[in-house]
Structure 1
Amino acid sequence: MPDLSSLSALSSAISATVAAAAPSLVSVHSHRSRASGFIWKPGLVVTADEALADEGEVSLAFADGTTRAATIAGRDHTTDVALLRFGGQDAPAALLTNDVPPLGSLAVIMAADQGTPVAALALVSKSAGPWRSLRGGDIEARVELDTRLRHSSEGGLVLDAQGHAIGMAVRGPRRTLVIPAATIARVAGKLETHGRIARGYLGAGLQPVRLDDGLGAMVMSVDKAGPAAVAGLRQGDIITTLNNQPFRGMRALMRELGPDSVGAVVEVAALRGGEPLQVALTIGERPA
C-alpha cells in the first residue's frame, strides 16, 4: 500500500506555501488584456511587459477583492519586466530570493484570475546560467518549467520547493520561462528610478540586403542629429561589418545594443557607390 501520509504531507506543504504567497498576487487588466502581477514594493507591482497592452488604462484587482487604478512606471521589453504604480501601500510585498532551483525540482506557479489567486504545479525542466533574450535583454539565469502558461497567469510568481519566490512566470515557446529575481531587482530598480532602461542607438534606419559575400545593411534613413550622421554615414550606404564582425541581421544587431553599449565606439565598414568606406561611430542612447 502506498504511503499516503507522505503524499498528504506534500499536499499540506504546497497548500501552506500557496496560502502564504497569495496576498501578494494581483490581476492586471489593460485594454482587453488580462495578466497577473505581484507586489514588488509598497505601491509597486511587477508584471510581464509582453502581457501589458501598449495603451489605455490599467487596473489592478487584489486578493482582498479591491480594485485600484495603476499607471505604468516603466517597462523593458528586452527582459519582459514592467513596473506599475498604484495608490495605497497596505498590501504585502512578495519576498524574492536570488536562489536558482536545481534541475528536476518542483515549482509552483502562483497567479491571479480576476483577483482570485490560482496555482499550478510544475517541474524545473532546465536550469542554466545567464543568457540573452532574442530582444537583447540580459537575464541572470535560464530557468524553464515543463508546463504551458495561461495568458492570465503570465506575470505571476514562481515559488521553489522551499516556498521561496524565485522569479516571474512568462510565456515561452511550448514552455514557461522564469525571469529570475536577480533580473527583476536590477531592471525594476532602474525602472523605478528612471522609468526606462537605456538602450544603444545608431540613429539610422537599416534594411538587410544580400551581398555577393554575405549579408549587409543598407542605410534607408538617417537621423540628422544621430550617431550615424555624426559619423558620416549617408542614406544608401551599405554596412558590411561592425568592429570587423560581419553583419548578421537585425535581430543580432539589436542584441548588441544593450545598456552597456551606450558610449562605445564602433568601427563601421561600409560601401558607398561600391567603394569601401570606414567610419568610427559612437553609439548613443535611444530616445525615450
Structure 2
Amino acid sequence: MSSSESSMSSMLLTLSNNLADTVEQVGRCVVAVNVRGSHRGHWRSRISSSGIHWRSGIIITSDETIKRSEEITVTLADGRTVSVTVLGRDATTDVAVLKLQDVDLPVAEIGDASTLKVGHLVLALAQGKENGVTASMGVVSAVGDAWRSMSGGLIDQFLRPDLNLYSGFPGGPLVEVTTGKVVGMNTSGPRNMALTIPASTVNRVLDQLLSKGRIGRGYLGLGMQPVRLPDTLKSTLNLDSTGGVIVINVEPNGPADKAGVMIGDVLVAMDGKPVSDTGDVQALLGTQSVGKTLKVQLVRGGALVELAIAVGEK
C-alpha cells in the first residue's frame, strides 16, 4: 500500500470512528415515541416517531406523527419505557412538546442551523423500541430564507438534508457532523422529502408553549378568497397588484367588522404590502401581529378605501 493510500485509509477510519462516536453520544438524547389510540373501536399501539430530549424534562417531537393519541410513552436509549404528557403543540410548525417526569436522561447539545452550508455532512438519528439508535448520513442539499408551512407556520430557515428518513425518523434530530450538535428536528415534507425544522424555530415555539400554553396568532374574523382585478380598475386606481382577496364573510363583532370591513370588499394591501391571495394575509398574521393595528387598502364600489384593523388573537 502506498503512503497516499495509507493516509487516505487512516483519514477514512478516523472519520468513521468520529461518526460512530457522534451517533453513540447524541443517540443517548433520542427517544422512541410510542402512541396508543383507538381505531374503529379497537386500541392500537405503534411507534410513531422519535423525539429529542431538548431541555431538561422536555422532549420535542413531530406533531404530525402523534396526532390525537390518547396515550403516549417514550422508550429511552437504555430500553426503559416511560409515560409522558403533552405540554403543548403547534401543528403549523410541526412541533409537539412532551413532559418527561423524574427521568435521568442526557440533554442534547443544541447548535445553530444558520451556520450550515450546502454540502455540509449531517446525520439524522432515530430511536427504535427494540433495535436501539439508528442513523442515516447525507449532506445538506439546500438552504434558504424563512418560509411558511401550508398551515401558515413561520419556519426561520429552509433546510433540506439529502438523506433517507426511514420509519420512525420524523421527530428525531439532525446533527452537524463536525460539532456533534443538534441543529434541528427532522420531519417529512411533500413526497416524503426530508425537511428540518431549525433549532431557532423549535426554541421559539417551545418558549411560547411553555409560557402561554399555546401559540397566539393574528385574527381578523374574515372569510376570503382570491380574485383577479380588471385591468381598467387597476389602471383607474393606479394599483400594482394583479389581484386581491374578496371578503365573502365577516364575523360579527370581530376585528375586521369593528373596523368597518364589509362583504364584497376586495383587500389589495395590508401593512403597506400587496395582497393577492389568502396566503399573503396569513403571512402578516403571525404571533407578532397580535394587538397591532394594520392599515388596510381595499376596493369598495370601484373606489380605494383605507381602514385600520386592530388584529385580535386566534
* TM-score (structure 1 length as normaliser): 0.87
1:216-235 deviations in Å (ceiling 9; x for gaps): 32323322232111111233
177, 181, 196: which one pairs with 2:199?
A: 181
**Which deviates more, 244-253 or 35-44?**
244-253
Match of 2:281 among 242, 253, 258: 253
Q: Does 2:112 correspond to 1:98?
A: yes
- Over aligned residue pairs, what C-alpha RMSD do you find? 2.5
Bigger Rg over Cα = 2
* Residue 261 of structure 1, CA deviation: 1.5
**Worse-superposed segment, 250-259 or 74-83:** 74-83
- The 1:265/1:72 distance shift into structure 2, 3 A limit, reads same
Residues 207 and 218, structure 1, Cα contact 8 Å, conserved in 2: yes
Contact kept? 1:51, 1:151, Cα under 8 Å: no
Residue 144 (1) aligns with residue 160 (2): yes
The one-letter code of the counterpart of 2:27 is A
**Unaligned 5+ runs, structure 1:** none
* Alpha-carbon distance between aligned partners in 1 of 2:116 and 2:146, rounded to the nearest angstrom: 16
Match of 1:24 in 2: 29
Match of 1:265 among 293, 297, 301: 293
101 and 246 in structure 1: CA distance in 2 versus 1, 3 angstrom threshold: closer
CA distance in 2, matches of 1:226, 1:55: 33
Partner of 1:13: 18
Which aligned pairs between 1:125-204 and structure 2 lie closer than 5 A?
Answer: 125-128=141-144, 130-134=145-149, 135-162=151-178, 163-173=180-190, 175-204=193-222
1:161 aligned partner, one-letter code: V
> Is 1:59 the counterpart of 2:73 in the alignment?
yes
Provide the identity percentage. Answer: 35
Counterpart contact for 1:221–1:235, Cα < 8 Å: yes
Task: Give the AA of the match of 1:81.
Answer: V
Name the SS of the counterpart of 1:257 in structure 2: coil
Q: Is the alpha carbon distance of 1:105 and 1:240 closer, same or farther for their aligned partners in structure 2, counting shifts above 3 Å?
A: closer
Deviations, residues 61-96 of structure 1 (Å, cap 9, x unaligned): 222222233222122233332211232232222111
Aligned pair partner of 2:123 in 102, 108, 112: 108
Q: Describe the SS at the equivalent of 2:269.
A: strand
Q: How big is the shift at 1:10?
A: 1.6
Distance 1:265 1:224 in 2: 19
Q: TM-score, normalised by structure 2?
A: 0.80
Letter in 1 for 2:183: I
Deviations 1:96-118 (A, max 9, x none): 12252333121111112336311
Tell me the residue number matched to 2:88. Answer: 74
Counterparts in 2 of 1:53 and 1:216: CA distance versus 1, 3 Å: same
Report deviation, 1:27.
1.6
